[in-house]
Amino acid sequence: MAVSIEWYLFLSAAIFSIGLFGILTQRNALMFLMSVELLLNAANINLVAFSLYWGNLTGQLFALIVIALAAAEVAIGIGIILTVNRNFDNIDVTEAATMRW
Amino acid sequence: MVGALAAGVPLFGPGIEAAELTALFPLLTFIIIVFFGSYLPLKGAIPGIAATGGALLVSLWGVADIATGAGPRHETLLTFVEGVAGEGVTLTFGILIDPLAILMLTIVSLISFLVHIFSLGYMNDEGEIDLPRYYAGLSLFTFSMMAFVFSDNLLMSFVFFELVGLCSFILIGFWFREAGPPSAAKKAFLVTRFGDYFFLIGVVAVLGTFGTAQFAGSESFVTIATEALETGATEGMTTFLGFGEQAWITVIGLLVLGGVLGKSAQFPFHTWLPDAMEGPTPVSALIHAATMVAAGVYLVARMYGFYVLSPTALSIIALVGGFTAFFAATMALVKQELKQVLAYSTISQYGYMMLALGGGGYVAAVFHLTTHAIFKALLFLGAGSVIIAMHHKENMWEMGGLRSEMRVTYLTFLAGSLALAGIFPFAGFWSKDEVLYETLVHGLGGSPVLLVAYTFGALAVVLTGFYTFRMVFLTFHGEPRSELAEDPEPVRWNVKFPLAVLGVLSVVAGFLNMGVLKDIIGEENLFLHEFLDGVTMDADLDAAGLSAHHYAEVLESNFAAGYEVAGLSPLGPGALATVLAVVPVIGAWYLFRGPDVDPVMTKLGGLRTLLMNNYYQDEYQVWLATGVTLPIAKVANKFDQGIIDGLVDGTGGVSLFAGERFRRIQSGVVTNYAALLTLGFLLLVLIFALVGGWI
Amino acid sequence: MLIELLVAVTLASALVVFMAPDRIAPKLATALSLLPLGIVAVMWTQFDAAGNALRAGGEPAFASTIEWFALGQYTIQWQVGVDGVSFPLLALTVVLTTLAMVSSWTPIDERQSQFFGLMLVMETALIGVFTALDFFLWFVFWEGVLIPMYFLISVWGGPRRKYAGTKFLLYTNLASLVMFVGLFVLVLGLGGSLTEISLPAITQALEAGELGSFAGIEADTLRVVAFLLLFLGFAVKVPVVPFHTWLPDAHVQAPTPVSVMLAGVLLKMGTYALLRFNFTMLPDVAADFAEILAAVGLISVLYGAMLAMAQSDLKRIVAYSSISSMGYVIIGLVAFTPHGMGGATFQMVSHGLISGLMFMTVGVLYNTTHTRMVGDMGGLADRMPITAWIFVAGAFGYMGLPLMSGFVAEVLVFIGAFESTVIAGAPLFTAGAMFGIVLVAGYLLWAMQRTLFGPFELETDYEVGRAPLHDIAPLAVLLGLVILLGVQPDLIYEVIQDAVAPIVDSAGESLIVSTDSLSEIGGELL
């Protein structure tokens, strides 16, 4: 019995919303990074779901790319967080606000 | 040459053919002095004397040429701006030598020559510094005036008219290290520039109207204008702004007159001239007698054929001239400085020349220009001699009794004064009388305006006699009123020689044209009249439209000024003028002769104050400059900085301000950016929804 | 190929100077700038242009055309050539650049190689502006002038150099944008009839009446819109009141040699472009607006002079009087008479020389006195006689003293404007504008009297003495040129006439005398 496409979309939307909520509310940079991961994975779920739905591999391919991208992003992100930590002694994203005008 | 004359062989040509040398000699001198002046012996005086002496010889030769039949010479020397074929005028520099021009060249070169020699005594002997600049200025001055005199077209006249103004600026401001001279120089240039503004409009208008600015010949603007009025053939003439031919000619004439009034220091542009006394005295002599001030009157004489076409212009010239003659003479009555008296007498005397020109007396005006050049140069150089003797004190109340110590100066100064006062038989008598006579007969012929002008002129004769001899008695007679006057510094030959030459000439120059006696000696013995009429020339001066005779003819034509001549013997007016001149001289003798002179003029009270302050003419003109123009400029500047630039800076300011505010959304907090991103996305969705009609 | 050589040599010189050490850069750059001067001198001897480069039948000298690349339907070309209008300005550019460089020796005392390199870059761009005949190419050079100028003002300038430089750059750049739009209105209106956007092609297509409607706007409206946009664009550059306020700031803040270039050549770009675009391409529109344009010129003359009168900084005085002088150019151009247009072009050259002379002289005084304020100094003629007398001569040149080039230019403009049949009431406009010669005499004489004459006064802790020879030399050369052109204007006036005559002729037929209404007024006066 196949799960109908709507359920995948609901799941994706739910994860996306959680991620978005995380971005808008979290001050901890690690949490922030995880929220971004959630957003990306929400997109991945959509891609894979539609790939299955249409019987087309393009979506899965894109999902793989996004995963690779996410991995790279985490690497860079954690690097940034470490630097932030070194400079500000914490990883609160609202405090690292000196690089503006 | 005398031999050739006697033999009846016309030896003409060289003089007038080489007339441009009168200008080129001084120009060359100027260039030499500018580059090598400080290395020259006497700091440039020698080349200056050589150049003006050479110019004098050339001009005298030219006079002889014309007296023996040569001329007129009219030639284009240099094309300045080539016009486009068929459109646009061609601007040229040319030379026009006719009796008037050669006469004026002679006067200028003579006076300039003598002034150069006098300068040896006044400048070199007094140990002045910067003399190369002085002599360079004199040379440039002479060059400009010469070229102005032989100009064959109005544009060229304007060019050298302006250069004359520049030279006066340089020379009046010669002692630039003091405060006064530079200011006087500025004033002289500025006031005359104001007049020249109108002159330049006139030049442009002449070029626009006639397509040519030539003075003489069948293609000249004078001829075209005459024909347009005489025959109604107006194809050569384009009037502007809807004026008729006669009216437009008047307008042009009056515009050019603006320059004349400025340079010849006629009311209300006379204010620069007394201030110009700040310059060295020889320069004053040059300016007043032969160059700058004479340039204005000469210009009217030069284009007299044009002025006679307009009765309105002539009346204005006569009125301004007559009024100035009287008005300036009143101010001369109370002045205490020697040169100031002479300055106002210059203004007054040029008023007579204008009066003559306006009154239809072309020959009289030129005659008075000639005699005045001689006696005014003499008076200024005489004053210069006194100033040397008095160690540069000019106040006449500190002089007195100089007669016995300075024989040559006294005698020549007296001759000049008698000429200025118009006492028979000195030069000024003949010319001034002719001026008044010509005005009177034309006035009685049906031009009441001229009678008014004549009255002014006649009254001025009385004043002239008085102030002249007040000056003579105060300076030379009585007892010395200061220590300096008791022991004046002696002057050398280089001062006495020019005085002597001019002194002799002021006695005899009047015999050139004894107009008063014309019924007795016959018209053919009025030498100057005959000379200016071209009688001595082989060519027909009438045809070129330059003879005195031709001017008189046009003057009396109905299409032109329409003057008429009343039949009146010159003897009566002559006698009247003599009386008018002699009585005040006696009066001055009565008042100022004694050893203890009463400063009688102080009894005039308030009137004296008014006269001392020159009717407050300077004040209102200064007020026009600093009280009107300058505040307007300041307001304009405020407006410019505040409003116009304010708008520009405001535009920048608004952008900056907006940016300043707008950049605050760049908070640096990642969360805010995320929120903005989300909100922006939602907004976009909303807009698409609304526009796309999903809702 | 001389023009290509000229551009290449100048640009290469710039690169060399950039790499040279600061110590030798000034003299090296001056020496190298003699190369373009020499090339232009050679061009002078071979100059054989006939007519106006933009109009049919015009044969520009040293012309060459190389296809560059295609942009849609249009071919962009390297197309250069000079005619009687551009050649005198080209000569002015190379002469002034060399002299300005000599006058920079004293005041520029840091980063010399960059300064002189930028001067040469600017010279390259200016050469390009006056020789390019393709719009695209021309526009590249036109904008290219701004960049070195911006740096020259904002690096080597006075205390407020940043403000002045930015204002200059933004203002003129904005104007370029407006002008660009204006030209493209024409290009788009001409549509398919145009295969290249070279200036002659556009001009000739317009003359042939190819202008169609675009985006539903009629051709007649397009013309007017294009004219206005172009005029606005160039008016800033000229500058015309009320778009002039960048000029005094830029002049005062810029170092003296840069002021010389700014007043001497950069302002002429504006009037040159006005002549090339507005008056050559759209003479009929110009004639329609003749009174308004003449009034704009008149206001520039009088208002500029009034502003100059209110200043006490010598540089500001000269800067504002430049506005006044440029007003004469506008009046001369709009007259559509041979002497009017020729005189206006002559005035461009003449004013370039005279204003250059004035700025340089002020600079020499400043080098010694370290002040430019009229009230701070007096009697300088006592200590610096040669500089002072050159200043006097230059000032009289500015006042239009005869036998100096300013007089020729002004009198030609006046003659041309007076008999203009395009401007209703031309004599009145002319007489009004001529009052400028009185005002200019007023403020310059006043400034001279205060600074040069009278007792010497200036508070310094060093001895004020004569200026060095290399400061005086460029002044003397300029003064010589001013007098030369004043005595022999035909040296350049003949070729100018040749190039402006076709414009006057083309406008001639379509123009109608419109003095009727004014003649009635005039008639009632007398």
B405-437 pLDDT per residue, tens: 888 899 999 999 999 998 888 988 999 999 999
CA distance B692 to chain A (A): 23
The confidence score (pLDDT) of residue C263 equals 92
> What is the amino acid identity at position B589?
W
Give me the domain span that covers residue C445: 289-526
Q: Is A4 on the interface with B (CB under 8 A)?
A: no
Cβ contacts below 8 Å, chain A against chain B, sum to: 31
- What are C284-305's pLDDT values in tens digits? 888 889 999 999 999 999 999 9
Could you state, in order of their start, the residue ranges of all structural domains in chain A?
5-99
Give φ, ψ of B334 to 5 degrees. -110, 0
CA distances from B123 to A100, B173, B381, B396 (A): 77, 15, 13, 22
Strand partners, C450: none
CB contact under 8 A, B671 and A101: no
Q: In chain B, which residue's Cα lies nearest the Cα of C430?
A: B201
Is residue C145 predicted with pLDDT exceeding 90?
yes
Span C58-83, average pLDDT: 89
CA distance C235 to chain B (A): 15
Is residue C48 predicted with pLDDT exceeding 50?
yes
Is residue C57 predicted with pLDDT exceeding 80?
yes
The confidence score (pLDDT) of residue B126 equals 82
End-to-end CA distance of chain A: give it in Å, rounded: 57
- What are B280-308's pLDDT values in tens digits? 999 999 998 888 899 999 999 999 999 99
Token pair of B406 as six digits: 């300075």
CB contact under 8 A, B669 and A94: yes
Q: Do chains C and A touch (3 or more CB pairs under 8 A)?
A: no
Short-list B417, B472, B441, CA closest to B574: B441
Residue C130 inside a domain? The answer is: no
Q: Is B60 on the interface with C (CB under 8 A)?
A: no
Please tell me the least confidently modeled range out of B290-304, B370-384, B606-620, C86-100. B606-620
Is residue C29 predicted with pLDDT exceeding 60?
yes
Confidence of residue B609 (pLDDT cuts 50, 70, 90): confident
CA distance B679 to chain A (A): 11
Q: Is A99 on the interface with B (CB under 8 A)?
A: yes
Contact yes or no for C170/C287 (Cβ under 8 A) = no
List CB contacts (< 8 A) between B663 and chain A.
100-101
Q: Which helix (H) or strand (E) holds B641?
A: none
Instruction: Compute the C-alpha angle B573/B579/B583, nearest 5°.
Output: 155
Residue C233 inside a domain? The answer is: no
CB contact under 8 A, B675 and A24: yes
CA distances from C113 to B85, B240, C7, C290, C401 (A): 51, 58, 20, 47, 39
Token pair of C120 as six digits: 């040469």
Is residue C508 predicted with pLDDT exceeding 90?
no
Mean pLDDT, rounded, of chain C: 89
C86-104 and C490-510 helices, crossing angle to 10°: 140
Q: In chain C, which residue's Cα lies nearest the Cα of B179?
A: C454
Window 146-165 of B: residues touching C by CB (8 A cutoff) are 155, 158-160, 162-163
The confidence score (pLDDT) of residue C357 equals 95
CA distance B695 to chain A (A): 22
**Across chain B, how many H-helices and E-strands are there?**
32, 2
Cis peptide before B72 (omega within 30 of 0): yes
Instruction: Calculate the CA dihedral of residues B98, B101, B106, B107 and round it to 10 degrees.
Output: 140
Span C422-435, average pLDDT: 90
Q: In chain B, which residue's Cα lies nearest the Cα of C490?
A: B81
List CB contacts (< 8 A) between A30 and chain B.
none
The confidence score (pLDDT) of residue C510 equals 47
Short-list B359, B360, B344, B366, CA closest to B298: B366
In angstroms, the CA B569 to CA B155 distance is 41
Instruction: Compute the C-alpha angle C314/C315/C317, nearest 5°.
Output: 65
Coil/strand/helix, residue C64? strand
Confidence of residue B395 (pLDDT cuts 50, 70, 90): confident
Is residue B6 predicted with pLDDT exceeding 70?
no
Name the more confident of C505 and C367.
C367
Residue C27 inside a domain? The answer is: no
In the numeric block, the tokens 């009463």 are attached to B598
C-alpha A57: how far from chain center: 22
Span B600-611, average pLDDT: 79
Q: Is A17 on the interface with B (CB under 8 A)?
A: no
Could you give the percent of chain A with pLDDT greater than 90?
56
Confidence of residue B3 (pLDDT cuts 50, 70, 90): very low
The confidence score (pLDDT) of residue B298 equals 94
Please give the class, per CATH, of domain A5-99: mainly alpha
Task: Please report all neighbours of C, defined by 3+ CB atom pairs within 8 A.
Answer: B
**Across chain C, how many H-helices and E-strands are there?**
24, 2
The confidence score (pLDDT) of residue C153 equals 93
- What are A72-92's pLDDT values in tens digits? 999 999 999 999 899 888 888
CB contact under 8 A, C526 and B625: no
**Across chain A, how many H-helices and E-strands are there?**
3, 0
List CB contacts (< 8 A) between B85 and chain C.
none
In angstroms, the CA C94 to CA C40 distance is 8
Residue C73 inside a domain? The answer is: no
Task: Please report all neighbours of B, defined by 3+ CB atom pairs within 8 A.
Answer: A, C
CA distance B582 to chain C (A): 45
Cis peptide before B268 (omega within 30 of 0): yes
Q: Is B182 on the interface with C (CB under 8 A)?
A: yes
Token pair of C453 as six digits: 């004459």
Quote the number of domains for chain C. 1
The confidence score (pLDDT) of residue A1 equals 55
CB contact under 8 A, A97 and B667: yes
CB contact under 8 A, C416 and B177: no
In the numeric block, the tokens 């006719």 are attached to B98
CA distance A90 to chain B (A): 15
Token pair of C300 as six digits: 């520039």
List CB contacts (< 8 A) between B205 and chain C.
418, 427
Out of A20, A93, A101, whose CB is closest to B670? A93
In angstroms, the CA A96 to CA B284 distance is 85
Mean pLDDT, rounded, of chain B: 87
Is residue B5 predicted with pLDDT exceeding 70?
no
The confidence score (pLDDT) of residue C7 equals 95
CB contact under 8 A, C435 and B197: yes
Q: Is A87 on the interface with B (CB under 8 A)?
A: no
The confidence score (pLDDT) of residue C520 equals 43
CB contact under 8 A, B79 and C379: no
CB contact under 8 A, C446 and B186: yes
- What are B195-218's pLDDT values in tens digits? 999 999 999 999 989 888 889 888
Other CB atoms closer than 10 Å to residue C291's CB: what's the count? 16
pTM for this model (two decimals): 0.89
CB contact under 8 A, C515 and B208: no
Helices (H), C254-313: 256-261, 267-273, 280-281, 283-288, 290-309
Q: In chain B, which residue's Cα lies nearest the Cα of A27?
A: B671
The confidence score (pLDDT) of residue B2 equals 42
Token pair of B524 as six digits: 């053919």
Contact yes or no for B267/B296 (Cβ under 8 A) = no
In angstroms, the CA B487 to CA B502 distance is 26
CB contact under 8 A, B668 and A97: yes
Out of A24, A27, A100, whose CB is closest to B668? A100
Is residue C180 predicted with pLDDT exceeding 60?
yes
Short-list C268, A101, C94, CA closest to B668: A101
Contact yes or no for C125/C148 (Cβ under 8 A) = yes
Out of A23, A27, A98, whose CB is closest to B674? A23
Short-list C319, C291, C327, C524, CA closest to C435: C327
CA distances from C274 to A61, C205, C246, C270, C409 (A): 62, 19, 19, 6, 18
Cβ contacts below 8 Å, chain B against chain C, sum to: 179
Rg (alpha carbons) of chain B, rounded to whole number = 31
